[in-house]
Amino acid sequence: MKIIAYEVRGDEGKYFEEIAEKLNVEIIYCKETLNEETIELAKGCMGVTILGHSNIDSAMLDKLMELNIKYISTRTIGYNHIDMDYARKIGVKVANSSYEPNGVADFTIMLMLMSIRKYKQAMFRGNVNDYSLEGLQGKEMKDLTVGVLGSGKIGETVINQLQGFGCKILVYDTFQKDKVKEMATYVELDTLYHESDIITLHMPLLKATHHMINKESISKMKKGVVLINCARGELMDIEAVTDGIEAQRIGALGLDVIENEEGIYHQDRRSDILNNRQMAYIRQFPNVTMTQHIAFYTDAAVCSMVNGGVSSLVSFINTGSSEGDIKY
């Protein structure tokens, strides 16, 4: 059995070797994305595994079908880089990753704390021997209401980890979980916007969630609200968010993701001219903390991503189904 792995990073190597030996599968490795040029390498393979930078549109799905490749696994939780409707239509099966949500949840809470304790400004001052206090007064979690948008795996873990902080927790999701009800209060979306001091996003990028943080939703939020996004950049209309920062309606932002980050994040672009004006502009504010889509990036998660990516392809090939099969 032969499969091909695209977007392979050095830190994934040892996990790929271990799982290949365990499942007795031959793996071709490619550092590049799956694209028009690199697809040739997939000839003779029964499945492909990718990360989030390969754009799997209808044309790419047709090309895979021409090579008789019907199975894809993405070693990411998000799968908005794959045209799922078309994949379903032509009978290509896709599995996503299901690594433990703790790494992203830890990171989310770190961004919350950095934002309410003004850590970016404190760190910059310390770097130039400015140890003044003025402007660095923060807030305590026990006095705040945290609104969690999405109580899926990551949202639920964030809620669980917040228990120790003594804050009030509101949550909104179209699907309510009993376990979450023991730790937080499900409310209408507008109530969450009206009452939360911190709002954190944990929904997938779908048509219904695209730009859900926009001029209108920001106008419903408390003045000085802290927004945290460790989900997908496109959940936020960055123009509206920038306006909110400038008007001081938004008190702080913690962003692990940003719209149009593809081709920038996870690359060394130091010597290049970057063409994401909004990203360059928003990062200069003292109350905006940005990271380069690294919330997921822990040793445990990378191990799970590789194991899941390979084993779901092997399962598809052997049985026609897989645990990671994307159902909706």
**Which sequence positions are flagged as catalytic?**
232, 261, 293
Q: Least Å distance between CB 252 and ligand NAD?
A: 18
Q: Least Å distance between CB 301 and ligand NAD?
A: 8
Judged by beta carbon, residue 131 or residue 175, the one nearer ligand NAD is: 175
Judged by beta carbon, residue 88 or residue 179, the one nearer ligand NAD is: 179
Q: Least Å distance between CB 175 and ligand NAD?
A: 4
Judged by beta carbon, residue 264 or residue 317, the one nearer ligand NAD is: 264
Q: Least Å distance between CB 70 and ligand NAD?
A: 24
Residue showing the smallest CB distance to ligand NAD in the complex = 152
Judged by beta carbon, residue 46 or residue 149, the one nearer ligand NAD is: 149
Q: Least Å distance between CB 206 and ligand NAD?
A: 6
Site for ligand NAD, rule CB under 6 A:
77-78, 101, 104, 150-155, 173-175, 202-206, 208-209, 230-232, 256-257, 293, 295-296
Write the burial class of residue 203 (CB in 10 Å: 0-12 exposed, 13-18 middle, 19+ buried).
Answer: buried
Judged by beta carbon, residue 1 or residue 152, the one nearer ligand NAD is: 152
